[in-house]
């Protein structure tokens, strides 16, 4: 199945609807964002989260702000306000800069409408990029399945990189959605991801998609890999250095070391976007 979108633009109401992720997995509740301050609050309170989704959400916030007041003064104010909502989210600042850069030199009357088109473009790019990640990842899973006929492919992931973290397909989960759709027998080990428990969001996504999975403690990954219960690891990336090093949620690094120690293939699923190449330190993967 095609996973549902976690953010929708409503043209009639000129507003954006998001799933309030702070209420998941207990409750699925949509929330309408209208004012720039609504968008700021939604990002700051982690009602929307996941690097790609934050960028898209902020872009819509800026566009809606410009539809109301397209002055350069307002552009700067909205951009600064939204950018400060979550200082560590690199996609946030990147998306806002991209939008601002494309509309700042336009005649004032065109600015709002063009910003909205840019936000739409950003959203569609994300959907397509993530779908393509899935298409690239699928053959890797098919190969693992061929190597163990009759048995399910066991995948370990960490944190949340599914439909809730992006607009639709996710990054790490995109190959899994497609594998499940293609009838591959898979099972996913989901880390709790303390202290924010984003694993619960991944559990929710996998449940929605009907993909078999098990929630485990973060440390259990070591034991599972040691016991031959993991065929590959797939995680997302919060930030990527030009040499290919990735920064991802705390816990990615020990898991990568275990996978290396056990000879288990490990993949980072990420889109190639300009904002991924602004970090060039050689040793930047996070714990």
Q: Give the residue numbers annotated as catalytic, written as ranges.
A: 238
Name the segment binding a copy of itself (CB under 8 A); options: 54-62, 65-73, 191-199, 271-279: 191-199
Dihedral of CA 14/2/53/273: which sign?
negative
d(CA 26, CA 200): 10
DSSP 3-state of 152 = coil
Would you say 12 or 283 has its CB closer to a copy of itself?
A: 283
Q: Is 264 in the site for a copy of itself (CB under 8 A)?
A: no
Determine, following the binding rule CB under 8 A, whether residue 254 of this chain makes contact with a copy of itself: yes
Instruction: Using DSSP bridges, classify how beta strands 7-10 and 15-19 pair: parallel, antiparallel or unpaired.
Output: antiparallel
Contact between 192 and a copy of itself per CB under 8 A: yes
Return d(Cα 287, Cα 283) in angstroms, integer.
11
State the alpha helices, DSSP H only, in 148-198: 174-181
* Secondary-structure breakdown of the chain: helix, strand, coil percentages, each rounded to the nearest 5: 45, 15, 40
**Tokens encoding 109:** 């009357």
- Can you tell me which of 46, 121, 250, 279 binds a copy of itself, judged by CB under 8 A? 250
d(CA 203, CA 91): 24
Residue/partner pairs of 145-152 with CB below 8 Å, 24 or more apart = 145/184, 145/185, 148/231, 151/185, 152/185, 152/186, 152/187, 152/212
CB of 233: closest distance to a copy of itself in angstroms?
A: 12
Q: Is 78 in the site for a copy of itself (CB under 8 A)?
A: no
195 binds a copy of itself (CB under 8 A): yes
Which tokens sit at 21? 């992720």
Judged by CB, which is closer to a copy of itself: 72, or 257? 257
243 is a contact residue toward a copy of itself (CB under 8 A): no
List 118, 218, 231, 238, residue binding a copy of itself (CB under 8 A) = 218
Q: Quick one: 4 or 222, whose CB is closer to a copy of itself?
A: 222
Q: Find the Cα–Cα–Cα–Cα dihedral 15, 25, 247, 194, rounded to 10°.
A: 140
Count the site residues for a copy of itself by CB under 8 A.
26
* Residue 108 beta carbon to a copy of itself: minimum distance, rounded to whole angstroms: 47
Candidate ranges 16-24, 95-103, 167-175, 248-256; the one touching a copy of itself (CB under 8 A) = 248-256
Q: Which of 78, 221, 232, 233 binds a copy of itself (CB under 8 A)?
A: 221
What tokens appear for 124 in the block?
A: 């569609």
Binding a copy of itself by CB under 8 A: which of 49, 255, 266, 275? 255
Task: Considering only the stretches 7-15, 21-29, 79-87, 249-257, report the one whose residues sit in contact with a copy of itself under the rule CB under 8 A.
Answer: 249-257
Does 4 sit near a copy of itself (CB under 8 A)? no
Which residues of the shown chain bind a copy of itself in the complex (CB under 8 A)? 191-195, 217-227, 250-251, 253-255, 257-258, 261, 286-287
């Amino acid at each position: 199945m095609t996973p549902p979108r976690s953010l929708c633009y409503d043209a009639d109401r000129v507003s954006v609807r998001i799933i309030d992720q702070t209420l998941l997995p207990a409750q699925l509740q949509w929330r309408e964002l209208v004012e720039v301050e609504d968008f700021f609050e939604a990002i700051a309170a982690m009602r929307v989260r996941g690097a790609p989704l934050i960028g898209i959400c902020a872009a819509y916030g800026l566009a809606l702000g410009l539809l109301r007041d397209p002055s350069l003064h307002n552009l700067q104010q909205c951009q600064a306000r939204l950018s400060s909502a979550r200082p560590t989210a690199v996609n946030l600042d990147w998306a806002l800069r991209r939008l601002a850069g494309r509309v700042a030199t336009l005649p004032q009357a065109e600015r709002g409408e063009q910003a909205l088109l840019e936000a739409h473009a950003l959203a569609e790019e994300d959907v397509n990029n993530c779908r393509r990640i899935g298409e690239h990842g699928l053959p890797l899973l098919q190969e693992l399945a061929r190597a163990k006929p009759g048995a399910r492919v066991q995948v370990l992931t960490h944190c949340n990189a599914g439909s809730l973290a992006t607009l639709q397909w996710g990054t790490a989960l995109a190959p899994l959605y497609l594998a499940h759709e293609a009838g591959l027998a898979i099972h996913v080990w989901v880390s709790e991801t303390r202290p924010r428990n984003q694993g619960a969001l991944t559990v929710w996504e996998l449940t929605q998609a009907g993909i078999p999975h098990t929630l485990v403690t973060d440390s259990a990954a070591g034991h599972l890999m040691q016991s031959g219960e993991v065929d590959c690891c797939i995680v997302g990336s919060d930030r990527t250095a030009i040499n290919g090093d990735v920064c991802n949620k705390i816990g990615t690094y020990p898991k990568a070391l275990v996978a290396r120690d056990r000879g288990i293939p490990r993949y980072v699923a990420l889109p190639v976007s300009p904002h991924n190449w602004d970090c060039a330190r050689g040793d930047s993967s996070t714990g």
